[in-house]
Chain A
């Protein structure tokens, strides 16, 4: 995100504090991304729509409290969305769902062996199933949402080194268990 874009967003936020209608611009800009992010953690369209509305409503309500902390505004929206999703699962007392796109996985993983088949995907699913939720959250934000570690740390309320550590550990296990090469330059 360029400096000019951040400045523009900040100006829109300032305007939104006085006139909530101005927030519509940021709503239109980030709705799809937040929707995809929440949908990946619920796999339920209606529930995602509800949680998304709640996310933007909370953002709108707390605009006065928002202050720039070196991360883009979208990171704040992701943080609210993440809190809403966690609140939902805490209420239901259920395991978290991660619904991931096969296409994206294929994009991310360069297989070293020649046979890229359903079996390896199944093994990968089983591996992810046993991965701690905190690690999965970091992986999701890093590889499916393309967020940098500073943003991830802010979204999940952890330190940047903590976020890196979680990602590296998960990737290390993945490389060892599957002999895979992951397109990753972080």
Chain B
């Protein structure tokens, strides 16, 4: 078996027959549809990125708040421990 399939035609296809397949309106419609889809996907991607950054920002803020509270609590415990220690010493 050969590498290619060779077929022989008597003549070239006529311009009239080819013209039946010519339809620039359809190409334009498909192009516009593609542009719309691309635009929608782009907007959706931007939305996802912004949402992700927002969630990240909120998480960092919460973590910072949590850290702040832990520090406050530790300071308070240390402070109260310190006063107990000093009062125990005086006795």
Contacts and interface: CB of A to CB of B under 8 A. Distances in A.
B7 A97 contact: yes
A28 B24 contact: yes
A104 interface: yes
Contact of A60 (B15, B21, B31): B31
Interface of A: 20-21, 24, 27-28, 31-32, 35-36, 39, 43, 45, 48-49, 52-53, 56-57, 60-61, 95-104, 121, 125-126, 128-133, 136
13 contacts: A24-B28, A53-B26, A53-B30, A56-B27, A95-B2, A95-B5, A96-B4, A100-B6, A100-B8, A101-B10, A104-B12, A133-B3, A133-B4
Nearest to B10: A102
Given A21-B28, A97-B5, A129-B6, A36 B34 contact: no
B15 A32 contact: yes
Interface in B1-40: 2-13, 15, 17-18, 21-24, 26-28, 30-31, 34
